[in-house]
Chains A and B, each alone.
Chain A
Amino acid sequence: GAGVSQSPRYKVAKRGQDVALRCDPISGHVSLFWYQQALGQGPEFLTYFQNEAQLDKSGLPSDRFFAERPEGSVSTLKIQRTQQEDSAVYLCASSPGTANTEAFFGQGTRLTVV
């Protein structure tokens, strides 16, 4: 596709449910990032992949959050036993290189935990 694609666009989960959020980056992009954006706030970094290697997961808020990119392309962010504080927009971004290259963002997945 022409841009970064995320699915689903909207997800409502009951508290305690597991969710999986998908990101299809721009083809050939080496770097992939996940961000969490709470209402009225700026995006906050969660984790970074360079190809299939997860090089930085310092932003993951708890061990309930897990991300993978097994073949260096599509990535999945999984949240186990969702809590209300997990409600946010989850943004995926990809970039062609590894340093100071433009990051292209998807439209995000809005997760609401009820």
Chain B
Amino acid sequence: GDSVTQMEGPVTLSEEAFLTINCTYTATGYPSLFWYVQYPGEGLQLLLKATKADDKGSNKGFEATYRKETTSFHLEKGSVQVSDSAVYFCALSPNYGGATNKLIFGTGTLLAVQP
């Protein structure tokens, strides 16, 4: 079945460091891909998305490119801030006939940014 695998955390970085959180997927057809973020004490929020191969999603300095050839959707940011500390979830939504518009999530990666 469809699944998402993302790197385990926690990831601890100093402020202004470069961030990469790896995400790969297994899916039938051509899913849409998402990154969600959960800040402490808050609900899941959509960070960015890409709906077809080679699309790049971007938001708040984060970006991820939909790579069909490597079935990957790695999250990157050039310079992290303390306020980026959160749990990041990679997710896919199946995109074949009759599929529910549900999300299939990875296990989440905790990012801790130190000043």
Minimum Cβ distance to chain B for residue A35 (Å): 8
Q: Which residue of A lies closest to B91 (CB)?
A: A42
> When the two chains form their complex, are residues A42 and B46 in contact, meaning their CB atoms are under 8 A apart?
no
Q: Tell me how many residue pairs across A and B have CB atoms closer than 8 Å.
A: 60
- B43, B91, B107: the one contacting A107 at CB < 8 Å is B43
| Contact residues of A: prevailing secondary structure | loop
B residues 38-85 near A (Cβ < 8 Å) are 42-46, 49, 51
* Contact A102-B46, Cβ < 8 Å, known A41-B108, A45-B102: yes
Q: Which residue of A lies closest to B45 (CB)?
A: A105
* Contact A44-B105, Cβ < 8 Å, known A55-B100, A100-B93: yes
* Contact A103-B103, Cβ < 8 Å, known A43-B44, A91-B43, A91-B44: yes
> When the two chains form their complex, are residues A107 and B42 in contact, meaning their CB atoms are under 8 A apart?
yes
A40 in the interface (beta carbon within 8 A): yes
> When the two chains form their complex, are residues B102 and A48 in contact, meaning their CB atoms are under 8 A apart?
yes
* Contact A100-B105, Cβ < 8 Å, known A107-B42, A108-B43: no
Q: For the complex of A and B, list the 4 residue pairs with the smallest distance between their C-beta atoms, beginning with the closest.
A: A42-B105, A56-B100, A105-B44, A105-B43
